[in-house]
Amino acid sequence: QQQVKQSPQSLIVQKGGISIINCAYENTAFDYFPWYQQFPGKGPALLIAIRPDVSEKKEGRFTISFNKSAKQFSLHIMDSQPGDSATYFCAAGGYNNNDMRFGAGTRLTVKP
């Protein structure tokens, strides 16, 4: 039973385009929603995170959009660059994050 569903599995975007990755969660007790970026052979690195008291958070080219009523959140990467090519994971957790659940991941390829 996957509590966080992520789509698409893979995504190919042209340089300069917008990459959009979507996640849906089930547990309404979740109140912390991070996104991680992972390069081959490395551990996941925290990219950006949001709490449900805001609907959007932007850091540089990365934006999280959050829809509490739909139990969905998404990552938007503006002006995508080849260096953004990586696997992205969404996650959802409670206050202490002792039961954080991850999506299955999206492999993003940005073509020059």
Partner 1 sequence: DAGITQSPRHKVTETGTPVTLRCHQTENHRYMYWYRQDPGHGLRLIHYSYGVKDTDKGEVSDGYSVSRSKTEDFLLTLESATSSQTSVYFCAISVTSGSLHEQFFGPGTRLTVL
Q: Where along the sequence are the contacts to partner 1 (CB under 8 A)?
A: 4, 6, 32, 34, 36, 41-46, 49, 51, 89, 91, 95-105
Nearer to partner 1, 84 or 103 (CB): 103
Nearer to partner 1, 14 or 97 (CB): 97
Nearer to partner 1, 4 or 13 (CB): 4
Count of Cβ atoms closer than 10 Å to residue 8 Cβ: 12
What's the min distance (Å) between Cβ of 2 and partner 1?
Answer: 8
What's the min distance (Å) between Cβ of 16 and partner 1?
Answer: 29
What's the min distance (Å) between Cβ of 34 and partner 1?
Answer: 7
Residue 92 in tokens:
């959802």
